[in-house]
Amino acid sequence: MQQDWAKNPEKYRERANVYNHAHPERARAHSAVARAVKSGKLVAPDRCSHCEAEGVVWAHHDDYDRPLDVRWLCPRCHNRLHSERWDVT
């Protein structure tokens, strides 16, 4: 994904703008997490809260009205949760 972004950043920036316009509550929650991580208010763990795999974790919001209440999931668990093939509770 990062390599695709580098090849055509305008394409991904436009996709992000469309998504953010369609889902402003999600965009606000994502931005709040990014700001909190940058300021040190939130610290991403080094492992997935579901499968405990070490490595990169992504913040998952169960409720966008609580923007800093996130579950830290590895990309595999996060994608499975969003594909609804797997209940990560």
pLDDT of residue 9: 83
pLDDT tens-digit profile, the chain (89 residues) = 556 767 888 888 888 889 889 999 999 999 999 999 999 999 999 999 999 999 999 999 999 999 999 999 999 999 998 887 556 55
Residue 56 forms part of a structural domain: yes
Contact 28, 36 (CB under 8 A): no
pLDDT of residue 85: 59
pLDDT of residue 13: 86
pLDDT of residue 24: 94
Residue 88 forms part of a structural domain: no
Residue 62 forms part of a structural domain: yes
Residue ranges making up the domain that contains 47: 2-83
Structure tokens at 76: 């595999």
Q: How far apart are CA 65 and CA 15, in angstroms?
A: 23
Residue 89 forms part of a structural domain: no
Residue 45 forms part of a structural domain: yes
Count of domains for the chain: 1
